[in-house]
Structure 1
């Protein structure tokens, strides 16, 4: 397949998982009530597992290959601090879109890295797209619930916003493919910065919502998300 078409297909596949997650949240009203509650927590846990898999199996290993350890560690820490500053800014201005912003700041660096990795001949593109889709689905689910609960946006507006974010992915992927490929150190820095930000988001926004007493599916959701990453890693190698 033409590399351009492959990048478009992979980034769209990953990005459209965000509005798909929102659609799932719209349709999640399942009875009895306990099933609806456990389903929501399990989806959140699955997303946390998939995010951790993306960090540990793709983003950090690929990023560390091109940078010295000290610089890689600095980029990783900078990503976490940047996400914290964004989070504090949003909280200070009482916006209801913190998780939607996190979703955007996860997605764009990852698609940039995906395009650049494919230009460099890396086999991690398919695995990264799969992990991005797995993380975007629960992120879309969670961000929809936040926006619907605390903003005036209706379902159609939220779905339109998430679709617009998804369409930024192919553009970012092609930018990575065309312009970042000669600069492997820059790609590594983007991957590691995104990793730090993702890890911050997992423990700031997702993990605190997961605990649910006397239910065991949510932590298994995290295990399942990470397991899919483990299975996909050899397939993408």
Structure 2
């Protein structure tokens, strides 16, 4: 029940965000502010919920290597996607967010193993905050290009289903995996998410809200820190 509720809440944010971007006015500065705030929240959550706990089972050199591997993997794939999808802005945005979301949701699924809802509230909350504005901006750009609103909403709904599946797979398929392997998987995902913040999230936020980005990131950091208190972090 806990897994179903968490996965549904996080994935539904993509659909709600897409509806928001398609049917409600979304000022560009507000979009940039929200994206930056979500990124700030993810910085705290990635460190506190994925990387720092891994120090209990992994030596620092191995932890650093795995985080770096996740960052390199995301960067290489992101570069390849950009080269392939040049001239198709809407599809490129969807693919980028999908690739970002898969490791996030795999991490969410593994974080739920043996944990209470409060213990993963910070990570789930940060991903939810991230999904809403990213889906809103992505859906708006896609519908403003080559796709209809209906087709765009269908694509985002499919993406939400894919990411929900990733979280469920991360939770069910890794139940019997050792804690060291779980820590390594979470660190790899953390590296991928961290790289996505640098290449996808913060540049987009800065282009939309030039002066408010720093304030928004600080607000996101504080929001995630507040959520982390639910788990005693």
Q: TM-score range by the shorter chain?
A: 0.7 to 0.9
The partner residue of 1:164 within 155, 158, 175 is 158
User: 1:227 is paired with a residue of what secondary structure?
Assistant: helix
Unaligned runs of 5+ in 1: 31-35
Q: What TM-score results when the alignment is normalised by the length of structure 1? A: 0.83
Give the count of matched residue pairs.
227
Q: Deviations over 1:152-197 (max 9, x none)?
A: 2222222222222222344333333333133222322222122211
Q: From the superposition, tell whether residues 178 and 101 of structure 1 become closer, same or farther in structure 2 (CA, over 3 Å).
A: same
Is 1:185 equivalent to 2:188 in the alignment?
A: no
Q: From the superposition, tell whether residues 214 and 9 of structure 1 become closer, same or farther in structure 2 (CA, over 3 Å).
A: closer
CA contact (8 A) 2:35 2:130 kept: no
State the partner residue of 2:76: 85
Inter-partner Cα distance in structure 1 for 2:200 and 2:167? 26
State the partner residue of 1:155: 149
State the partner residue of 2:63: 72
Unaligned runs of 5+ in 2: none
CA RMSD of aligned residues (A): 2.5
Is 1:48 equivalent to 2:32 in the alignment?
A: no
Alignment of 1:1-237 (within 5 A): 5-29=1-25, 36-93=27-84, 94=86, 95-96=88-89, 97-121=91-115, 124-150=119-145, 152-183=146-177, 184-211=179-206, 216-237=211-232
> Which consecutive segments of 4 or more residues in structure 1 shift more than 4 A?
212-216
User: 1:67 is paired with a residue of what secondary structure?
Assistant: coil
User: 2:173 is paired with a residue of what secondary structure?
Assistant: helix
CA contact (8 A) 1:117 1:181 kept: no
CA contact (8 A) 1:57 1:230 kept: no
